[in-house]
Amino acid sequence: MSKQELVVLGQTDETGACCPGLLTAPLDEGQAVELAKVFKALGDPVRLRLLSIIASRAGGEVCVCDLTPAFDLSQPTISHHLKLLRQAGLIDCERRGTWVYYWLLPEMTDRLAGILTRPAGEPLPAPAEVTA
């Protein structure tokens, strides 16, 4: 994933500090299209399980040969789901000999967490307050 693609997700601060964009200001169309691709990649139970297995692996990476036994799905199907996670910038991989190894790209999950985090000191009204 290029730096340009990452920037469009509301991150313009080169210090790495996150600039929440979803809850603080209306997204423009371009931002929404880019961000929707990432959420769409997360919008599938198999991909979420794959991501959680990869992200929680102590050694930081997982062989595809250790991923397929966790699912009642064919190897090509698992590979397709992994490809979508990779295209969304959530994971990356490297082939070594027979097998492909996958790892989390924490920059993207950090960015999504930042986008979904309410700005400090600006609590949103609770529904009860809104409807009172």
String of contacts with a copy of itself for each residue 31-70, x by CB under 8 A: -xx-xxx-xxxxxxxxxxx-xxx-xx---xx--------x
What residues contact 19, with CB distance under 8 A and at least 6 apart? 10, 11, 12, 13, 114
What CA–CA distance (Å, rounded) separates 115 from 90?
15
Question: CA nearest 62: which of 109, 70, 27, 119?
Answer: 70
> Rounded to an integer, what distance in angstroms lies between the CA atom of residue 57 and that of residue 27?
34
26 binds a copy of itself, rule: CB under 8 A = yes
Place of tokens 């985090």: 117
19 is an interface residue for a copy of itself by CB under 8 A: no
Nearer to a copy of itself, 24 or 74 (CB): 24
Name the minimum Å distance from CB 127 to a copy of itself.
6
List interacting residues with a copy of itself (CB under 8 A): 21-27, 29, 32-33, 35-37, 39-49, 51-53, 55-56, 60-61, 70, 92, 94, 101, 103-106, 109-110, 112-114, 116-118, 123-127, 129-131
